[in-house]
Amino acid sequence: MLEQVAFFVVAVVMLLAAFRVVTATNLVHTVLWLGVTLGGTAVAFILLEAHFLAAIQIILYTGGVLTLMLFGVMLTQRQQGVTTVGNPSHHLPAGFVLAAAVFAMLAGAIFRTPLPNAVAQGSNTRALGVAFLTEHVLAFEALSLLLLGAVLGAIVIARRRDAGDESEIAGPAIPARRKLEIGGSR
């Protein structure tokens, strides 16, 4: 009973936060509302007794991804202090269609998958670890390779940009024009 009440509270909070993610005009507020949504997912995992998933959700998404997104927001900022995003209304129909299509795809996949209708009792962290390293070890290793590829790709992309700007970074003297810009722009 109490779990159900808690679930509905979390669900309402998550939905409201998700709505604000789309409607907020300040880009930093958008990211923070996304943080509330992701945190709500962690609470939902806790209510399902999936403690390990909840902790990983907080470490990876709320702690990691969100921070990186804030970096992105800060680095692309135009106006001082406030970054606004427009919500052009002529994109709305296309957005609804796209959202509905993604929802249908996800819902279809979830309903077709045969899931055992049971909430785990007590600790399932150990069971999760054992399953990863025995039954699903191939998928686990394949995912690790995929992530390694992504990391290496990021390094390659970053390096290529470095090579292009090499003169600017490694060169000892800053051109006089740039110096002026830094000193007198504001």
CB of 81 to other proteins, least distance (A): 5
Q: How far is CA 170 from the centre of its chain?
A: 34
Least distance in angstroms from the C-beta of 117 to other proteins: 23
Q: At what angle do helices 27-47 and 2-23 cross, to 10 degrees?
A: 160
Give the list of residues 6+ apart from residue 87 with CB closer than 8 angstroms, or none: 22, 23, 25
- Closest approach, Cβ 36 to other proteins, in A, equals 12
Any contact of residue 69 with other proteins (CB under 8 A)? no
| Contact range with other proteins by CB under 8 A, out of 4-12, 52-60, 91-99, 175-183 | 52-60
Q: Decide: is 151 part of the binding site for other proteins (CB under 8 A).
A: no
Report how far residue 127's alpha carbon sits from residue 118's, in angstroms, rounded to the nearest whole number: 15
62 belongs to the binding site for other proteins (CB under 8 A):
yes
The least CB distance from residue 116 to other proteins, in Å, is 21
Structure tokens at 168: 């600017």
Residues forming contacts to other proteins in the complex (CB under 8 A) are 28, 32, 35, 51-52, 54-56, 58-59, 62-64, 66-68, 70-71, 74, 81, 123, 125-126
